[in-house]
Amino acid sequence: HPTNFQMEESSSLRPANCRSKGTGPGFKVAILGAAGGIGQPLSMLMKMNPLVSVLHLYDVVNTLGVMADISHMDTGAVVRGFLGQQQLENALTGMDLVIIPAGVPRKPGMTRDDLFNINAGIVKTLCEGIAKHCPKAIVNLISNPVNSTVPIAAEVFRKSGTYDPRRLLGVTMLDVVRANTFVAEVLNIDPREVNVPVIGGHAGVTILPLLSQVKPPSTFTQEETEYLTTRIQNGGTEVVEAKAGAGSATLSMAYAAVKFAEACLRGLSGDAGVIECAFVDSQVTELPFFATKVRLGRNGVEEIIPLGPLNEYERAGLEKAKEELAASIQKGVAFIRK
């Protein structure tokens, strides 16, 4: 096996006269952390996405195997693998969208903030690469704690003079996916028909589902509201505990990440009315970052959708969310400014 590989599928095994494959229309997408628990199913699902023409898989371990495996899928995207820091430049150059699930996951008893010490440095390094090699790419940041890693990424980009707040999105889609599922269970309807806006951030009480704005319009008893809010806020912990030390959500996260990436790519391709929730640079509250519904377009976030009317329970939740969020954002900013 080549140790320093950067090959396109199993190109070294092809006959010399093998006709080269055109990449066709579509977007170039890089996944950083592609060999991990999220990265592998995410890579597989992105290889199946017709909007993707080129898929770059980057990790610091095991990329060769994942790339070889996924490259055998008979879908359109050309897959290339990149291993280790010295190949980050080639992994990133020319990319339209960079998805980052790199970093360590939680074990039972840990908060997402307990991951800060390791993941902050990983996100910093990867974002320095993005600033240098594909500063115009849309970035979907999955690595936890999202409430701090997004401010870290923003500071890295700001420092390098490349910061475009429209292009940096913290992925909170899994909270929406969970909320849709749990609300559909309570309403006894198909989850595909449900849309729950989830605002704030991505940890504990900062995850704030707006049950008063559920589509289709629905009402909930106080007991249902409290059950649903708590279950949605603890969805990640529920999986961490069930996996009992073997990591956190990976499969539902890969599903959510692809749903979100696809929305970004549809926006990039000019589709109108693409709206999803994400943790972004925002003036919707006094905090510098906040998750709300956003409209996605050719430049990334084209519009931040206002919060809309909140009921008393949600207003109280918002105050709690903002308090914790402010500290997490500050911690991320300080990590780069220190």
Minimum CB–partner distance for residue 34 and ligand NAD (Å): 7
Residue 65 counted as an annotated binding residue: no
Residue 81 counted as an annotated binding residue: no
Residue 122 counted as an annotated binding residue: no
What's the rounded Cα separation, in Å, for the pair 84 and 233? 35
Residue 37 counted as an annotated binding residue: yes
239 binds, among ligand LMR, ligand NAD, none (CB under 5 to 8 A by kind): ligand LMR
- Return residues touching ligand NAD (CB under 6 A): 32-33, 35-39, 59-61, 101-106, 115, 119, 122, 125-126, 142-144, 146, 171, 174, 202, 247-250, 253
Closer to ligand LMR by CB, 56 or 202: give it: 202
Minimum CB–partner distance for residue 16 and ligand NAD (Å): 33
142 binds, among ligand NAD, ligand LMR, none (CB under 5 to 8 A by kind): ligand NAD
Closer to ligand NAD by CB, 105 or 300: give it: 105
Residue type at position 8: E
Nearest to 93 by CA among 51, 135, 123: 135
Applying the rule CB under 6 A, the residues between 262 and 301 that interact with ligand LMR are: none
24: left (phi over 0), alpha (psi -120 to 50) or beta: left
Instruction: Answer for the pair 80, 8: CB distance below 8 angstroms, yes or no.
Output: yes
Closer to ligand NAD by CB, 49 or 144: give it: 144
Closer to ligand LMR by CB, 235 or 297: give it: 235
Closer to ligand LMR by CB, 87 or 248: give it: 248
Minimum CB–partner distance for residue 119 and ligand NAD (Å): 5
Number of Cβ atoms within 10 Å of the Cβ of 94: 13
Catalytic-residue membership of 72: no
**Site for ligand LMR contains 204 (CB under 6 A):** no
Stretch that binds ligand LMR, among 88-96, 122-130, 236-244, 309-317 (CB under 6 A): 236-244
Binding residues for substrate: 106, 112, 144, 178
- The contact set with ligand LMR (CB under 6 A) reads 105-106, 112, 144, 174, 202, 235-236, 239-240, 248-249
Catalytic residues: 202
